[in-house]
Amino acid sequence: MSLKDRIHEELLDIKRAHGGRLDPDDVWRFAKDNPKSALHTQYNWDVREAAEAHWRDTSQDLIKVYVIEYRVTPRRTMVVVPEFTSLSTERGKDRGSYEATVEVLRRPHKREQLLIDTIKRLTSIKEVAVFPELDAVAKAIAAVAEKYLSKAAA
């Protein structure tokens, strides 16, 4: 059985043990109490490193809270966008720092990367397929993804 399958089984076991619900606190507690479990391998148990990762996640959440109004030139409409953005191509170089979204949108190569990152996020929302009401949205996303993601891969 693969690690992914073992983790899935453990999650189902935890869910069954807690009345059919899966609570994140139950998951990490199970992992901590069961060092031979597949889930245990997915956590950093070094308290200092884990705290720093948590603080980094909190910082990212704080950065993502702020939005600005941005004028979309061709349509001449105002939209609300995140004030800061982190491009996937920049992550890892400097631990995922953020840039002003307005500045990213002004630079064609960065704008295109933000578009590609946005398309990837949209295509990752698997729940869209569950709702017939979102079929038109899913088709539009798929069409844009085919156009831009195949271009980016080339």
119 belongs to a structural domain: no
Does residue 142 form part of some domain? no
Q: What is the pLDDT of residue 154?
A: 63
Residue 7 included in any domain: yes
- Environment class of residue 84 by beta-carbon count within 10 Å: exposed (0-12), middle (13-18) or buried (19+)? buried
pLDDT over threshold 80, residue 94: no
Quick one: pLDDT band at residue 137, thresholds 50, 70, 90? very high
Of 16, 20, 14, the closest CA to residue 38 belongs to 14
- How high is the pLDDT of residue 95? 62
- Give the separation between CA 99 and CA 111, rounded to whole angstroms: 12
Contact criterion met (CB below 8 Å) for 149 and 119: yes
Q: Is residue 102 part of a domain?
A: no
Instruction: Answer whether residue 10 is part of any domain.
Output: yes
Residue range 21-52, pLDDT digits in tens:
999 999 999 999 999 999 999 999 999 999 99
* Domain presence at residue 120: no
Q: Determine, yes or no, domain membership for 33.
A: yes
| CA–CA gap between residue 107 and residue 103 (Å, rounded) | 7
User: Counting Cβ atoms within 10 Å, is residue 85 exposed (0-12), middle (13-18) or buried (19+)?
Assistant: buried
Q: What number of CA atoms fall less than 13 Å from residue 92's CA on the CB side?
A: 2
* Residue 26 located in a structural domain: yes
Domain that residue 36 falls in: 3-43
pTM: 0.78
User: Which phi and psi angles does 46 have, rounded to 5°?
Assistant: -75, 115
The count of structural domains within the chain is 1
